[in-house]
Structure 1
């Protein structure tokens, strides 16, 4: 990898991780179409850690309150303050964790086919449009029910299919159960924290066992570029989503899916 390639891939990761357009699809396809070498597992870990730092920084006040009230709930056995939201994030992570362990080989193998990416982009894009079009959009994540948590958690497990988009499918589920666009996006971003920690932790173990693959300077470029672009993306998305809706992202997903079908 060159420093330019590292910068471009880190920016792609930082932006597409939070938009409902599938970061995995872009990170698989862009190097392939550009003829770039595989970036390696260590680089993937670096850019995902950068994205994690961005969401932790952006939601630092919410996360601190959630951690404090979650700890109190263990002692008092009462869901006061942000404890309910904290438990919701933890419970909604269980389905994707179990599915990831059960289907790890398939996800890293046959599911990375361009046709799978294309149909996932199109199919789940249509679902996103439907949820945004017909969802009631009257509740926030702080009015969640445990049924909401189950629906969103199970939906997130589908994000293991490349091209689905973890943020896209969780926002789709949030809109489908009646949440506002902003609430669905905020919960999706908070829900990414344990997912990135779990997935990044497993990859980090593999990196420690093997070779780093890339010099530390390239990893640093990836980390910093991913963190900065991810933070700006989160800020912009939450600021604009009420006005622009999901339409532009649906159109992009379908167009990209059709392009992939035409090319491959």
Structure 2
């Protein structure tokens, strides 16, 4: 994948992540239209990690203030995340097929 295509996908991810639309669905459709052959999972992880990093940078003061006010938040976040991780890893192979389908992404938009 060229840098230009990756930058385009990053822009689409950055714009659509904070709107009430499916950023992943739009990425699947754009990748299909532009014939981008990429490992969908790796690209999505990198794009979503970038989104997470931007949120952490933008809201770092608020996040630190909330954590410092009530340290019970940290274990609760960890406990709340564990079921999602277990379900995600269990359903990974099944879900990847559907997440890469432009037809399904288009129907769901």
- Scaled by the length of structure 1, the TM-score of the pair is 0.35
Question: Is the Cα–Cα contact under 8 Å of residues 70 and 87 in structure 1 kept in the other structure?
Answer: no
Gaps of 5+ in 2: none
Q: How far apart are the structure 2 equivalents of 1:43 and 1:62?
A: 29
- Of 102, 106, 109, which aligns to 2:94? 106
The residue correspondences of 1:171-250 to structure 2 (distance < 5 A) are none
Question: Is the Cα–Cα contact under 8 Å of residues 26 and 105 in structure 2 kept in the other structure?
Answer: no
Q: How far apart are the structure 1 equivalents of 2:35 and 2:99?
A: 21
Aligned counterpart, 2:57? 57
What is the total number of aligned residue pairs between the two structures? 109
Question: Is the Cα–Cα contact under 8 Å of residues 12 and 23 in structure 1 kept in the other structure?
Answer: yes
Q: Compute the displacement of 1:90 (Å).
A: 4.5
Bigger Cα Rg: 1
1:173-192 Cα distance to aligned partner (Å, 9 max, x none):
xxxxxxxxxxxxxxxxxxxx
Secondary structure of the structure 1 residue equivalent to 2:38: coil
1:184-223 Cα distance to aligned partner (Å, 9 max, x none):
xxxxxxxxxxxxxxxxxxxxxxxxxxxxxxxxxxxxxxxx
Distance 1:114 1:5, change over 3 A: closer
Task: Please report the RMSD computed on the Cα atoms of aligned residues, expressed in angstroms.
Answer: 2.8
Distance 1:52 1:16, change over 3 A: same
Distance 1:41 1:103, change over 3 A: closer
Q: Compute the displacement of 1:53 (Å).
A: 1.3
Gaps of 5+ in 1: 74-82, 122-264
Q: How far apart are the structure 1 equivalents of 2:55 and 2:98?
A: 31
The residue correspondences of 1:68-83 to structure 2 (distance < 5 A) are 68-71=68-71, 73=72, 83=73
- Of 79, 85, 88, which aligns to 1:97? 85
